[in-house]
Structure 1
Amino acid sequence: MSVFRPVRCLFSGSSIRCSRPRVRCRNFHTSLNLYEQRRPQFPGAKASKMDLIDQESSEMEIPDPEDKNFKEYTSEELEALEKRYTPGQIKAILAGEAAIDVEDLERRGVIRTDIGGLPYFDDLSKLRPVVDRDQLYEGPIDPNARRMTDKEFSDAWQKEYDQAVREAEMPPPKTEEEAEDRKERLTGSDRIAWMKADDRVPHYMGTNGPIPRAHTPSMLAPGLPRTFLNDEQPKAQVKKEDDEDDADPRDPEGVYNRLIKQTGLTLDQILEYKVKILVQHRVVNQTRLGKIASVYCLAVAGNGNGRLGIGEAKGQETEETSSNAKIAAIRSMQPIPRYEERTIFGEVEGKVSAAEVKLMCRPPGFGLRCQHLIFEMARAAGIHDLAAKVPRSRNKMNTVKATYQALLKQRIPDEIARGRGKKLVDVRKVYYAGRV
């Protein structure tokens, strides 16, 4: 579109009209234009317009059960709610459930599972070995539990010590001097009995006497499991490495045995990875003895769910070199940030030597429109919508490395929010059209 603007001529001084193209001007910031911003689907609703407030009594009315989007409460559930909430709170709960649209909740209430997701929920059904202690007692807690006095603790410790001495089949001390000498020396079975007594002695007194150590709740992190010398310990069974009967038919030559021992992965997990050789060619090294030929391989490995790694190897045999490259790629896998588990965050660039790569995010259903090397890397990482440009050198090895560098240097919204001092919700509204 063109506009006419009067311009004064430098020679005659008269005004003339000339045309120039209209340039689209916009401010230099990241906010979306008004026509690009997402309009709220529902206008502002007031309680008076929703007929939730009675003008005479000014009390909230319970909506009609037919208008509810959630399952109706049974009589037992209502009785349980009445024990915990007041009548006004119950009315507010019912009104809130009636006002929520299930379709809108399914569309907007998305829990992120990518690398940028926050731990909103804590799975209390699993025990973490560093923080949680194993639950040894499931009975009720004694309401009259109290800390033992010094006299009660010493008597309980002496009782546990005598029990440990009887288990060790030690002769009891004949005199008090011998007992004191055992406590001071603490050698052999005396030391074991002392340690057992410290491990078993209770610390709390309940209604019916001392509370056993296993029944006492503790806020401390669990320690290492204690084993004593005179306890019967099962002998560890040593597995022979050269046992050919235990060889897996899927890996008869044992190519992944060392990788399994180093990483703790199983053979099933390794075989599920998407591994492929992207670059393979012959190289020559000039030495004083002549030209020494070898094979170079560059492989890519990913689990299809946000992890990707590249590995390279060089050797004389093609098959052995490709196996080493695949193992190196699996060992070097790192998490790749993904937006909505399908594309990248914004636009990123990578450069290795003369090869430059520019990766761009795309909407759902766009697909992978890029060259075959980047296509294989995106598919291995679990990226489904992506566009890429390689404007300069297209060396295969440098292109793969530049793409891997670009995928790792993405700026996720969490980093942008921390850098700008804003909330994560505000950053997502600006950069990703309001989808939260």
Structure 2
Amino acid sequence: MNVFRPARCLLSGSSISKFRPRVRCRNFHISPNLYERQGDPNFSIVKASKEGVGENELDTDLGSENFKKYTPEELEALQRKYTPGQLKAIEAGEAAIDLEDLEKHGVIRTDLGRLSYFDDLSQLRPVVDRPQHYEGPHDPSWRVLTHEERTELWNKAYREAVLEDPLPEPKTPEEAEAQEARKHGGDPIAEMKADARTPYYMGSNGPIPREHSHDLRAPGLPRNFMSDDKPKVPVKKAVHEEEADPRDPEGVYDRLIKQTGLTLDQIMDYKVKILVQHRVVNQTRLGKIASIYMLAVAGNGNGRLGIGEAKGQETEETSNNAKIAAIRAMQPIPRYEERTIFGEVEGKVSAAEVKLMCRPPGFGLRCQHLIFEMARAAGIHDLAARVPRSRNKMNTVKAAYQALLKQRIPEEIARGRGKKLVDVRKVYYAGRV
């Protein structure tokens, strides 16, 4: 709302009353300004009480709903898992965290430049995490086999592998001697079977079987790599008519599915639309050859966008080729708060210039229909655009796509200035981390 405030100025020695509009100016972010926070009790400074509270502790219940204390059952489970010294370290680390900062300023980012806030402890990362020892119930007294124990178990597994594949009765003394020497080593197939069966760890009840342990090496041959008893399954030729999906009966996306690994459901969920379509003519020595030009845009509605071009004689075939080309060319588009762009960006292709500007929540997409469709396909909800010069449709789409890819995210600005990420976001985004 505009508030009019009278202002007086002197012109030619006479006093003339003048009105000028006083416009409320603020940055485009959702954090409240300082004057809006002065009367808010949630933003008041919480001081430490004198009785029973240290200098660095806060006598407040901030975060009591989202960050609750441990229950007796949880404390008992932690005591079984950690030593008393580790528990004290955990409590000291949690006490050092400012709950007010977590409640009021901590924001979990989901945009392209997000940080790795949480780790999925149910999955192992081979570079950082230690390998899993074995699958099954935890054995507190497990240990790695010694060289003597592993040698003894390997010899036992080798002899069992030799007995599984006996040779025919020897007819000469040389064959009998070779079979006797085979029991002590020299059979490559039996050696591979012994390597695949020898355990790694020793438990309370003896060696832990390989089926319950984690192999640190690359997977070898299967256990039954020499068995010829498997019945051969006849390979049936797939009939295209039986496997055809009713949504794609002609198999337009079959090649795209094989090359990209996408499913037909994912392809159908993409927002794909033809933005530019016109007739073109190519002059050759045989005369004028007319064809159709199409430009399509494709996006998943969650930060990915691509454009594709195609020419052809048939309208339907050209349309499919342009859509497939747009799906192949999809690239990630940076989004601030998953709704708008970072700052203001410009793009220029030939004589067409496009300027894109970020806008606050609820502003909407106030731009021409070509940029509107591109923003909606990329998942951008608040955007303003200007096209001051040429309005050529093809160049406008390409310039807008170029501008979206030219955004500078806060991480890049921080690295360029040699500062921390929080400094950049404090300046441009009011401290929201």
TM-score using structure 2 length: 0.77
1:224 maps to which of 184, 204, 219: 219
Contact 1:204-1:211 at 8 Å conserved across structures = yes
Matched AA of 2:219:
L
Mapping of 1:249-260 within 5 angstroms?
Answer: 249-260=246-257
- Distance in 1 separating the partners of 2:91 and 2:206: 48
Matched AA of 1:374:
I
TM-fit CA distance, 1:165 = 2.2
Contact 1:297-1:325 at 8 Å conserved across structures = yes
- Mind listing any 5+ residue stretches in structure 1 that lack a counterpart? 6-15, 17-29
2:135 maps to which of 121, 126, 137: 137
TM-fit CA distance, 1:110 = 2.2
**Other-structure match for 1:302:** 299
Matched AA of 1:47:
A
Structure 1 counterpart SS, 2:43: coil
**Other-structure match for 2:46:** 45
Matched AA of 2:260:
T
With over 3 angstroms needed to count, the CA separation of the structure-2 counterparts of 1:398 and 1:137, relative to structure 1, is same
- Distance in 2 separating the partners of 1:261 and 1:271: 16
2:416 maps to which of 392, 416, 419: 419
**Other-structure match for 1:284:** 281
Matched AA of 2:363:
F
Q: Does 1:147 align with 2:138?
A: no
TM-fit CA distance, 1:59 = 12
Structure 2 counterpart SS, 1:116: coil
TM-fit CA distance, 1:421 = 1.8
Structure 2 counterpart SS, 1:338: coil
Matched AA of 1:46:
K
Contact 1:311-1:326 at 8 Å conserved across structures = yes
Q: Does 1:362 align with 2:355?
A: no
Mapping of 1:13-92 within 5 angstroms?
Answer: 42-48=43-49, 53=53, 68-69=64-65, 74-77=71-74
Structure 2 counterpart SS, 1:393: coil
- Distance in 2 separating the partners of 1:88 and 1:129: 30
Contact 1:63-1:94 at 8 Å conserved across structures = no
Matched AA of 2:139:
I
- Distance in 2 separating the partners of 1:233 and 1:134: 33
Contact 1:299-1:310 at 8 Å conserved across structures = yes
Q: Does 1:122 align with 2:119?
A: yes
Deviations 1:324-376 (A, max 9, x none): 00011111111110000000011111111111111111100110011111000
- Distance in 2 separating the partners of 1:82 and 1:178: 59
With over 3 angstroms needed to count, the CA separation of the structure-2 counterparts of 1:360 and 1:134, relative to structure 1, is same
TM-fit CA distance, 1:226 = 2.6
Structure 2 counterpart SS, 1:125: coil
- Distance in 1 separating the partners of 2:211 and 2:79: 37
**Other-structure match for 1:25:** none
Mapping of 1:37-436 within 5 angstroms?
Answer: 42-48=43-49, 53=53, 68-69=64-65, 74-77=71-74, 100=99, 108-126=105-123, 137-143=135-141, 145-149=143-147, 151-170=148-167, 178=179, 190-216=187-213, 220=216, 223-224=218-219, 226-227=221-222, 229-231=225-227, 238=235, 240-436=237-433
Structure 1 counterpart SS, 2:319: helix
- Distance in 1 separating the partners of 2:425 and 2:75: 39
- Distance in 2 separating the partners of 1:59 and 1:260: 59
- Distance in 1 separating the partners of 2:337 and 2:315: 39
Matched AA of 1:389:
R
- Distance in 2 separating the partners of 1:92 and 1:154: 48
With over 3 angstroms needed to count, the CA separation of the structure-2 counterparts of 1:323 and 1:204, relative to structure 1, is same
- Identity among equivalent pairs (%): 65
- Larger mean CA deviation between 373-382 and 160-169 belongs to 160-169
- Distance in 2 separating the partners of 1:349 and 1:128: 41
With over 3 angstroms needed to count, the CA separation of the structure-2 counterparts of 1:48 and 1:110, relative to structure 1, is same
Structure 2 counterpart SS, 1:47: coil
TM-fit CA distance, 1:261 = 0.9
TM-fit CA distance, 1:256 = 0.8
- Distance in 1 separating the partners of 2:398 and 2:231: 51
TM-fit CA distance, 1:213 = 3.1
- Distance in 1 separating the partners of 2:76 and 2:59: 16
- Distance in 2 separating the partners of 1:263 and 1:127: 27
- Larger mean CA deviation between 129-138 and 114-123 belongs to 129-138
Structure 1 counterpart SS, 2:248: coil
Matched pairs, number: 396
TM-fit CA distance, 1:82 = 8.0
- Distance in 1 separating the partners of 2:309 and 2:374: 15
Matched AA of 2:225:
L
With over 3 angstroms needed to count, the CA separation of the structure-2 counterparts of 1:426 and 1:394, relative to structure 1, is same
With over 3 angstroms needed to count, the CA separation of the structure-2 counterparts of 1:107 and 1:246, relative to structure 1, is farther
**Other-structure match for 2:22:** none
With over 3 angstroms needed to count, the CA separation of the structure-2 counterparts of 1:133 and 1:286, relative to structure 1, is farther
With over 3 angstroms needed to count, the CA separation of the structure-2 counterparts of 1:91 and 1:273, relative to structure 1, is closer
- Distance in 1 separating the partners of 2:205 and 2:112: 52
**Other-structure match for 1:9:** none
TM-fit CA distance, 1:321 = 0.2
TM-fit CA distance, 1:246 = 1.8
TM-fit CA distance, 1:92 = 8.3
TM-score using structure 1 length: 0.76
Contact 1:52-1:61 at 8 Å conserved across structures = no
- Distance in 1 separating the partners of 2:237 and 2:139: 49
Structure 1 counterpart SS, 2:346: strand
With over 3 angstroms needed to count, the CA separation of the structure-2 counterparts of 1:378 and 1:181, relative to structure 1, is same
